[in-house]
Structure 1
Amino acid sequence: MQRHDQIIIKRARRNEHDVGHGGAWKVAFADFMIALMALFLVLWILAIVDQSERKAIVAYMNSASLFDQGVGNPFDSSSSMSPIDFGGEASDLSSHDAAMTVTSFYDGNGDGQYTESLVQGTYDTQEQLKVLAKVVEELAKQASAEGNVHVDVTPQGLRIVLQDDYRQNMFHRGSSELTPFFEDLLLELAPIFHKIQNPLIISGHTDAVRFNRNRSEKSNWELSASRANVARQTLIAGGAPENHVLQVAGMADRAPLNPNEPDASENRRIELFVLTTSAARMVETLFKGPSKAEDGPAVQQAREHAEFNQPVIRQDFVKNS
């Protein structure tokens, strides 16, 4: 007799409540709470800052990187008198000096696409300066820096202004460290100064925000001079001849572009002044002074009066008498 085994399949009943005891809802709830906290943080920042401070935040976010060790934190209030300080460039103490080393170098030879139209030589006439201005404007356009570069042709030469805007800051707050955007811009400008033979004046300018005297004896004079020197170092690293730099000056806040708002961002700038031959000669005369052969009767008479009014030591008087 053939034996047949009966196969029994046992099906387990599903518990409808098991799905509710999983961990997926916890992940979704955590994502929701993080998004809610981010929303509250944005609303809080919008409530406590004004329009100028919002622009400073945007400029910082555009020029900063999480991988940049030296950028700092815009929310750091350790050196501020208020809980949050998004103010002017001079509100924080500088951790850099004027002799900082440029970390990125550009091997410029003056043969770039923006300088091919320039002829090696000195640019003295207004027509020549307009050609030079056109090259600088085209370079700024290609670098997406139209709002940061302004060019003016003057009787004394070409004035190139590099300044902050609502998107980009030129220097980190209270320091002479260039942001990457403006460092690259100066390195792009360097081949132009390699082609032309005109002397160059570099001046640094700050806004009217002062350093905290309780924490540092520095002022906007040191800060502006340090920034101008950093701009000089960057241009030289990009290929600009060092002997073409005639003067590096710090102007602090004495020549604001916007006198009605001395704390405005456009007052924080670097100016590159390309001098004509006559203007350069005039600047050199101011510092060198006239030679003795060129002294007139009035200068000679003034020198004699000065020598006559020199103090006399008693021993010398007795010796001469």
Structure 2
Amino acid sequence: MNKDREIPVRIIIKKRGHAGGHHGGAWKVAFADFMTAMFALFLVLWLVNQSSDVKSAIAGYFQDPLGRADEFGSSILPGEGAQAAQVRPLSPADVIDLRRNRLTRLSEELKHELEGVPELTEVMKNVEITLTNDGLQIELLEDSIGVFFETGVPTPSARGQKAIAVLGEQLGKLPNPLRIEGHTDARPYSRSGPYGNWELSADRANAARRILTSNGVPAARIAEVRGLADRQPRDPEHPFAARNRRISILVMLGEPVVGEGELTDLAAGDSAVDAPATDVAGNRVAGASQAVTIRPIPAGALRAAAERAAANREAARAAAERARLEAPSAPDSGGHLP
């Protein structure tokens, strides 16, 4: 009877795993960990052997990525990166941009200072400050009632003196040279005699110069004082407009340059710009100038100009000598190159 019992058949399915085969990816994780550890080890060994400048640069980068790291340059050789960063000169374009940014800030400060003076609140519409290619231009524009200068008078009014004095206090903070210009409208001068718009515009510009230098602007900063009469109207379509009568003060971007042709007797001081002139009534006025264009040269400018001229001549002589030495020799004919 036991023989007749049916024995159940059990089916066993065995699945072979392939995780440990050579095509598996587990070893890659271990290898990546090993390479990371080796990279960290060699990085530490490299840092230990670097100079203190490179260490400071790396530490500074992680502390301030946009700031201190730039001071040490990009070279990993000992000392070269820091030295190159320290001696890298500013290009002319960078210098101009820095000066322009400084003048932009000055423009806002001037407007703020002028608006803070009660006596000038009503005349702020007659003050225009604009940034030009030559520098910061400040213009004191007249109107029909004479805001800063009364009609035909070379000296400024009380409000004009106050406005120019406030400008002087602010302009004295910058090293930029100044150019002062006086302008009139096209209306002929009403008084008889040789005194006209040319003299009037020059005297007004010179009066503005005196106030500026009395309120913080060094005399050496005055690069030029000019009287232009009606030759550069503010409103060319209306030559008789009151806005054409104005004082223009230009805060120049560049430094004053004195050429060899300008080495005149003006270096003696301000005597050339303080020559007597006549007032509206035709009387002589001490301290007023008859010169239309006045170019005072700062003290020491003659010596500086002479030194620059000598340096230029020496540089030209050296360049000619280098060109002579680098030129190819002449054929063997007994001749010589010039």
Alignment TM-score, normalising by the size of structure 1: 0.49
Alignment TM-score, normalising by the size of structure 2: 0.46
More helix by share: 2
Larger RCO: 1 or 2 (CA < 8 Å, sep 6+): 1
